[in-house]
Amino acid sequence: MKKLEQLYEGKAKKVFATDQPDLVIVDYKDDATALNGKKRGTIKGKGAINNMMTNRLMQMLEKNGVPTHFVEEISDRETVVKKVSIVPLEVIIRNVAAGSLSKRLGIPEGTPLRKPVIEYCYKCDELDDPMVNEYHIAAMGWATDEQMKLIAEYALKVDSVLIRFFKEINVELIDFKLEFGVTSDGTLVLADEISPDTCRFWDATTHEKLDKDRFRRDMGGVEEAYIEMARRLHIEE
């Protein structure tokens, strides 16, 4: 497979065309941003860790009945994925109160939730990704009702599979963000990444943060946290 021209550069990844129209190559960067791009930095080794962790988790999810964009890992930072049209939503799933939910509702971080919470945000940098509900989504035509039904079903499946998996490496899955896309044949698939950039991972015993919150909140030990997650997942660097 040939890596052709760059199609897109995001905050953490670049996307390249290939010689096959339905496939693209994602190239993970070490760049990190927070506060919707207002805070910038580099997390050494992050690109490779996020690439390998995402691929490992996507393959596991496929086996559990969640279709994904994953095709083939071609280097430590590069993966061939199906070309999709991204549904312009950030799908957030929460098991324990943290971050913006804690702020919005005044619930201390670490408070368990009685059942998983799904939230949707409209992907729009200029508007800081505002939270929306199913009525907004249907009214704007960002996804069909049928797609939204599948998105919620897949999101809860991802949650239960990942909770069980991370528990085995003594990590508590606090919350995470998913993105979905539609392939050329109209299939809805899980896309983007599942990594310490997009999940909150707490050590199940010490509650130490092992994710990007260390960067967002200037806590130090950022690279060490990514490396620790890679170590627990037995990802070779």
Cα–Cα–Cα angle for 93, 31, 232, rounded to 5 degrees: 55
Segment contacting ligand TMP (CB under 6 A): 110-118, 154-162, 173-181, 221-229? 173-181
Segment contacting ligand TMP (CB under 6 A): 23-31, 78-86, 171-179, 183-191? 171-179
Cα–Cα–Cα angle for 187, 193, 194, rounded to 5 degrees: 115
How far apart are the C-alpha atoms of 162 and 168, rounded to whole Å?
Answer: 10
Residues ≥6 apart with Cβ < 8 Å to 193 = 12, 13, 28, 50, 54
Nearer to ligand TMP, 66 or 199 (CB): 199
Q: How far is the CB of 18 from ligand TMP (least distance, A)?
A: 26
How far apart are the C-alpha atoms of 118 and 18, rounded to whole Å?
Answer: 35
How far apart are the C-alpha atoms of 65 and 67, rounded to whole Å?
Answer: 6
* Contact with ligand TMP (CB under 6 A) among 198, 226, 229, 235: 198
Does 67 contact ligand TMP by CB under 6 A? no
Amino acid at 66: V
Does 88 contact ligand TMP by CB under 6 A? no
* Contact with ligand TMP (CB under 6 A) among 175, 182, 189, 209: 175
Does 200 contact ligand TMP by CB under 6 A? yes
**Binding pattern to ligand TMP, positions 98-137, x when CB under 6 A?**
xxxx---------------------------x--------
Q: How far is the CB of 174 from ligand TMP (least distance, A)?
A: 7
Nearer to ligand TMP, 27 or 213 (CB): 213
- Residues comprising the chain, all counted: 237
Residue with tokens 């991370």: 166
Does 45 contact ligand TMP by CB under 6 A? no
Coil, helix or strand at residue 202: strand
Residue with tokens 């201390």: 108
Q: Which residues bind ligand TMP (CB under 6 A)?
A: 90, 92, 98-101, 129, 175-177, 198-200
